[in-house]
Chains A and B, each alone.
Chain A
Amino acid sequence: MITLTVAPPTDRGFWTIHLFIWLALASVFFAIRQDYNSDSMGLGLFFAVSIVVVNTLVCLFFRELIHRFNWIDARKFSILVRVFINSLWLGFISATAIAALLGVYHFVVGNASSFVFFWQYVYSLWLIMAIMILLWAVIYMSTCYLRQLKTLELKEAEVALQLKQAQLNSLAGQLNPHFLFNGLNNIRSLILEDPTRARQMMTALADILRYSLQSNERTCQTLQEEVDIVRSYLELAAIQYEERLVYIENIDAQLLHHKVPPMIIQLMAENAIRHGIDRSETGGELVFSLALDHQNDQQNKQQIKIEVTNPGSLNPADPANKSIGLGIKNIKQRLKLLYADKASFSLSQRGGIVCATAVIPLSSTKEKAKEKTDESNHC
């Protein structure tokens, strides 16, 4: 629930409903008293105007109370009780003020004798004013409550939309068409030069295609599988970039049976190629390392640290970095959806080297069980 310390400024809707309530009451009073001929026309009008003016002031004050103490939810019994009690004394204030104004009127007109019945007047008005103020309060609170519900609903819809967008982005980000078609073109050429290698490359491309098509269907697979795909990917990249791409691997083989979400390392490698090797005429080293993270090494909370480095810069002014957002966003969003705050991803620059680092918790036994059910469903 949203807590409002101060009442928001009044708007047109508020005044429409507010004036409708009080003008209705004032006109009923006016009509009845004119009908019984108990008041002169002037007194009747003065009375009607007093009702509207006094109660407008009272209601503005009440409105302030409602917002400061956050009495918006009219469904809560405790709040209703509080609003009821406040309506009673505000009704008394309202009735007194109206009676006083009438007294002043009588005094000015010269009917001072009516002044004697002041308290009688107050008591006769109190109940009706209290009821009307309570009615006003309930209507006011209900409209406020409905409005809050509406904004909440809008927010929920927005969150849902963002989630969809993220899913679409990940679909789009998973296979770079540039890479695919360049790969096919290179293989076509390689058939002339080195048919055996061309055949290997065709298989590598098939593996990548299959993997990226299936990655939407599963939530996790072993590091071994992901590393194999990264290797295939870099082999294919090597026939495009040749001497520009030097690939170095630092992998702790003991970690390879652990499970990770698909396409995270793959996307990191793709980013490194796209922003590091592809943009550079000289190319350079792409280093992929996989190790246990010893920094936050608590006994039951082990983490894997994945690092991919490439030559380049993170300077946002560099036009090559304009498109950096999508792949990174994709990785961050997926890690957040899967691990909440337990995983992290960051980009940093040391000298002319850009380093992408992902830290992912090793799956605990509980998660492993969950993954197994996932696997039986999907893999």
Chain B
Amino acid sequence: MKAIIVEDSRLARLELQELLKCHPEIEVVGEAKNITIAQQKIEALAPELIFLDINMPGGDGFELLERLDSCPEVIFTTAYDEYAIKAFEFNALDYLLKPVNPKRLAQALTKLAEKQPNASINTPNDAPIDHKIFVKDGERCYLIDVDKIRYFESSGNYARIHFGKNKPMLYKSLNKIEPRLQPKVFVRTNRQYIVNINYISAIETSGISGLLLTMDDGREIDVSRRHTSLFKQLLSI
């Protein structure tokens, strides 16, 4: 598993490298001392895991996640910031307190390894893979598994992500989001929505050639004429 260490203190990076020597399955492919370098390296090296310090000059760890189009697995490392991590709605990520206890590191990596196989089944290799999307909506942070998302709803220049019981706002437009998603799972139905076909509970014809989708949360979404043929092709109906 390719990993990258993002951490402003050189000694702290060295320390983590040393601790990871006991875990040969983790290959540290890069290090970054601030989030600008980190973003470049993550986009170039496509690691599957980031060890991410929260408190850094020139932008904190959360800001890095916001800048990334797609988020690999994240393990936060912090000296004393539990409150910041608790801002997360989901326990989708782990954190380590510095100095890192080797046992805790081992636990975190085991947890990650258990999660890994499922992810690869759900995401076929031929598609652009988005494991997670990081969203910071006001005070709350979400790290969302993309395949748990029901649909994206356009709201001005931004998009509302509907998943589980939540609908946080992502500060990107649907047009920006669409190319990042797997085309076989996420489909543009009209100007307003991108839906996850796994969460459609009913499809009815409407009008001459249109379709009306009912999502599993009860939301009814029109498929505009322009998108209908593509949609039918995809579902082979």
Contact = CB atoms under 8 A, between A and B. Distances in A.
Interface of A: 177-178, 180-182, 184-186, 188-190, 192-193, 239-242, 244, 278-281
A178 B79 contact: yes
A363 B87 CA distance: 49
B58 A181 contact: no
Interface residues of B, number: 18
Contacts of A188: 15, 99
Contact of A189 (B14, B55, B57): B14
Interface in B76-93: 79-81
B11 A189 contact: yes
6 contacts: A182-B12, A185-B15, A193-B11, A241-B9, A244-B57, A281-B58
A182 B18 CA distance: 16
Interface in B1-28: 9-12, 14-15, 18
Contact of A177 (B9, B79, B100): B79
Given A177-B80, A178-B79, A185 B57 contact: no
Contacts of A180: 79-80
Contacts of A242: 9-10
A242 B81 CA distance: 22
Contacts of B12: 182, 185-186, 189
Given A177-B79, A281-B34, A281-B58, A182 B9 contact: yes
B109 to A, nearest CB: 19
Given A279-B57, A280-B57, A281-B57, A182 B98 contact: yes
Nearest to B15: A189
Given A181-B99, A281-B57, 7 more contacts: A178-B79, A181-B97, A182-B79, A192-B18, A193-B11, A242-B10, A280-B58
A181 B10 contact: no
B28 to A, nearest CB: 15
Contacts, number: 59
B191 to A, nearest CB: 35
Q: Which of B11, B14, B58, B81 is the most central at the interface, judged by chain A CB atoms within 10 Å of its CB?
A: B11
Given A185-B15, A185-B98, A240 B80 contact: no
B2 to A, nearest CB: 23
B55 A185 contact: no
Q: Which of B12, B14, B18, B79 is the most central at the interface, judged by chain A CB atoms within 10 Å of its CB?
A: B79
A279 B15 CA distance: 22
Contacts of A239: 11
B57 A192 contact: no
B55 A186 contact: no
A125 B55 CA distance: 84
Contacts of A278: 55, 57
A71 to B, nearest CB: 56
B99 A185 contact: yes
Nearest to B97: A181
A84 B15 CA distance: 86
Contacts of B58: 280-281
Nearest to B77: A185
Nearest to B10: A242
Contacts of B81: 178
Interface in B140-189: none
Nearest to B81: A178
B126 to A, nearest CB: 40
Of all A-B residue pairs in the complex, the 3 with the closest CB atoms, nearest first, are A189-B15, A181-B79, A189-B11
Nearest to A179: B79
Given A185-B98, A192-B14, A193-B14, A178 B9 contact: no
